[in-house]
Amino acid sequence: MRHVFVINPFSGKGTETKKLRDTITAVCKEEGVTPEIYDKPGKAEMEKYLRDVAQTGDHVRIYACGGDGTIYCVVNQTFGCKNVEIAAIPYGSGNDFIRLFGKKEELQDIRKHIRGTPYWIDAIECDGEIAVNQCSMGIDAEICAKQVSFKKIPGVSGEFAYTAALLFCLFRKFKNQFTIQVDEHEPVDGLFLFAIGGNSRWYGGGYKGCPLALPDDGLMDCIMVKKAFGRLKLITLIGEYKKGNHLKWDFTQMIRGKRMRIHSDIPAAINVDGECRYVHDSCFELKEKSVCYVIPQGSTYPEDRAAGKLD
């Protein structure tokens, strides 16, 4: 098996790249594997490299060394290639997807990923893009788009950038007229703050948007939060939303399903694992057991999952 380490030199503001290269080289030597390390700048070049590696047909484990954006890149350039396993080593500013599998500091241990176990998880397809975490439309997608600019400010972390962007967007676009349909349920029209299709739990640097989602249960958590209050009320609820307590609100609805369609008469922001654009229509569709993800050695996720501790 080939061991390919893709380092995003801009993750974590790029300060860790040389140290990470040295660590990978040393640990791989101890583990008796030969690493292939790619850390060149340039998104298009990285995407082509990943496609070329995946399409060789070689059994390969690709280590996404960065944040959620690096995972997104690896997943989207290799999706559908059954010969590819994906491991995630968190060196980004958000690192939301990996939270189900352990703490950031523990998951930075290269050795645990080399010794990890491949495990098939679900993904969400949205208009040709693939998300392993969450897709959404509404104010949170607007926040995601704005968060990118805030993260460029020195000293601003992923979590703080999300909160700052949230407060900024409260005064820009607070409500959305959507028509939403989950599977064959009756479509729902109305004013919404946002709608999420969740495959895993956290996004935005620690916000628990889909607090019950599991990436291997064959279902997507479709969460719709209606616009039932004003801006000042929402500010008081941000803390509860971050903790994942919004499922208790009487203006929140959750349906587990396979497909979520959203229509907006005017262009609305859409977020696919941190990649944002504006659309009138979107469809989030679950793809069962479509990504081979490496559970690092020592992670309690498989045992906790089997014991029902994550339900």
Burial of 296 (0-12, 13-18, 19+ CB in 10 A): buried
140 lies in the same domain as 256: yes
Q: Is residue 40 located within the same domain as residue 146? A: no
Query: Do 270 and 302 belong together in one domain?
Result: no
The answer on 157 and 112 residing in a single domain is: no
In this structure, the answer to whether residues 99 and 173 fall within a common structural domain is: no
**Are 163 and 273 in a shared domain?**
yes
Mark whether 88 and 6 lie in a shared domain: yes
Q: Which residues have a Cβ under 8 Å from the Cβ of 288 and sit 6 or more positions away?
A: 122, 218
Domain coverage including residue 184: 132-286
pLDDT of residue 165: 80
Domain total in the chain = 2
278 shares its domain with 300:
no
Identify the pLDDT of residue 172.
Answer: 67
Considering the domain architecture, whether residues 98 and 174 belong to the same structural domain is answered as: no
CATH number of domain containing 200: 2.60.200.40
Same domain for 43 and 185, yes or no, is no
| Start-to-end C-alpha separation, the chain | 34
DSSP annotation string for the chain: -EEEEEE-TTGGGGTTHHHHHHHHHHHHHHHT--EEEE--S-HHHHHHHHHHHHHT---EEEEEEESHHHHHHHHHHHTT-TTEEEEEEE-SS---GGGGG--HHHHT-HHHHHT-EEEEEEEEEETTEEESSEEEEEHHHHHHHHHHHHHTSTT--HHHHHHHHHHHHTTT---EEEEEEETTSPPEEEEEEEEEEESSS-BTTTB-SSTT--TTSS-EEEEEEE--S-HHHHHHHHHHHHHTGGGGSTTEEEEEESEEEEEEEEEEEEEETTEEEEEEEEEEEEEEEEEEEEEPTT--HHHHHHTTTT-
Residue 10 lies in a domain: yes
Q: Is residue 76 part of a domain?
A: yes
Residue entry with tokens 């907006």:
264
Specify the pLDDT at position 94.
77
Distance of CA 62 to the CA centre of its chain: 17
Mean pLDDT for each consecutive 10-residue tract of the chain (311 residues)?
A: 91 69 96 96 94 97 95 97 97 89 95 98 97 94 78 71 76 82 97 95 91 98 90 83 94 97 94 93 98 97 93 85
The token pair that represents 217 in the structure block? 């249960």
Residue 121 lies in a domain: no
C-alpha to C-alpha distance for 280 and 265, rounded to whole angstroms: 6
How distant, in Å, are the alpha carbons of 29, 138, 308 from that of 120? 28, 30, 18
Tokens of 89: 């080593």
Pairing assessment for the beta strands 176-182 and 134-138 based on DSSP bridges: unpaired
| 311 in any annotated domain | no
Q: Which residues pair with 61 in a beta bridge?
A: 3, 85
Per-residue pLDDT, 235: 80
**170 and 201 housed in the same domain:** yes
- Asked if residue 125 belongs to a domain, the reply is no
| 31 is a domain residue | yes
Residues 82 and 153 occupy one common structural domain = no
User: Does residue 126 lie within any of the structural domains?
Assistant: no
Structure tokens at 287: 């793809």
pLDDT value at position 169?
Answer: 77
Looking up residue 26, the CATH number of its domain turns out to be 3.40.50.10330
Residue 265 lies in a domain: yes
Give the pLDDT confidence score for residue 185 in this predicted structure. 97
